Structure 1
């Protein structure tokens, strides 16, 4: 076997292996200019039509947590259409506004901010707030993150 044949075989093998490796849902978000933290930890799979932008992301179950002063609820399946800097036609993500749960229908990236729309109003948040993925139940304020115990941290009072 010649050296050229070996190189050709190795090249073809590496192309086949890399074509079979699917990126994670979090990596896909980054391809579209979104931070990973707009999805909670625990996405178990996703589907994406790269031509239309239609996607579905799958969680192991429903997920609820606090983020800033907002309570968020993710259904087990989140759907929508993604394009560079824009998520639209969203379903499966709701936010509690006063006493009502309303659907987040669109997310847009505006420079270093994300604008979340519920249809009749929107709110802007700095992108750096979404550098880390929140965890179900405790959001970004979890203790013992490495060992599977995700109880919410209690606020420390200063005496």
Structure 2
């Protein structure tokens, strides 16, 4: 009798372990992990993707950003990078993805002089990403996109936190001060 109970317990534990392993394997990856499956770094999307869809047969996708993460209560995510480029992401981004190529992009734009121009394609070529606005393109090293930017401040958020009055984590320390 004890042996039968022991076998049932072992069988129950084996079934539970198999179910847990199968459940973990079938969990939907994050949007950032899905980008990696197509050889793109996570930093081409800002922090705050709350949902996405991906049709693996066609490559059609949508990504939805958290509107509250956009900074200053806007319905878009906007920030500057490298001191001269400003990027804007709508709360809904759509397009098609295949390995090393994003096309038919909608919802992502770059500010050139005084105009906002839609980025329509992103192509990975080795260690570079080529961003195309249709008639022109620019290449950037992939190392610039290993980290996800934050809406409102891009990659320089820690510097902004230090400047905001009343932020609990901002502290001014003088050398030699107690």
TM-score (norm 1): 0.85
Distance 1:44 1:151, change over 3 A: farther
Corresponding residue number in structure 1 for 2:17: 10
The answer as to 2:115 corresponding to 1:109 is: no
Q: In the TM superposition, what are the counterparts of 1:45-64 in structure 2 within 5 Å?
A: 45-61=51-67, 62-64=76-78
- Distance change >3 Å, CA 141–CA 50, structure 1 → 2: same
- Of structures 1 and 2, the larger Rg is shown by 2
Shift of 1:6: 4.2
Unaligned runs of 5+ in 2: 1-7, 68-75, 165-178
Superimposed CA distance per residue, residues 60-102 of structure 1 (whole angstroms, 9 cap, x where no aligned partner)? 1210000111111000000000000000000000001111111
| TM-score, length-scaled by structure 2 | 0.76
Q: What is the rounded CA distance, in whole Å, between the counterparts of 1:29 and 1:119 in structure 2?
A: 22
Residues 37, 151 of structure 1: CA spacing in aligned structure 2 closer, same or farther, 3 A cutoff? farther
Once residues 14 and 112 of structure 1 are traced to their aligned partners in structure 2, the CA distance between those partners, rounded to angstroms, is: 35
The equivalent residue for 1:66 is 80
The Cα of 1:16 is off from its aligned counterpart by: 3.4
Q: Which runs of 5+ in 1 are unaligned?
A: 153-159
After TM superposition, give the deviation of residue 12 of structure 1 in Å.
Answer: 3.6
Higher helix share: 2
- 1:79 and 2:94 matched: yes
Q: How many residue pairs were aligned? A: 148
Q: Quote the Cα distance in structure 2 between the aligned partners of 1:28 and 1:151.
A: 35
Alignment of 1:108-127 (within 5 A): 108-127=123-142
Aligned pair in 2 of structure 1 residues 127, 52: CA closer, same or farther (>3 Å)? same
Instruction: State how far apart, in whole Å, the 1-side matches of 2:25 and 2:104 are.
Output: 31
- Please state whether the residue corresponding to 1:143 is helix, strand or coil: helix
Match of 1:33 in 2: 39
Q: Considering only aligned residues, what root-mean-square deviation do their CA atoms show, in Å?
A: 2.0
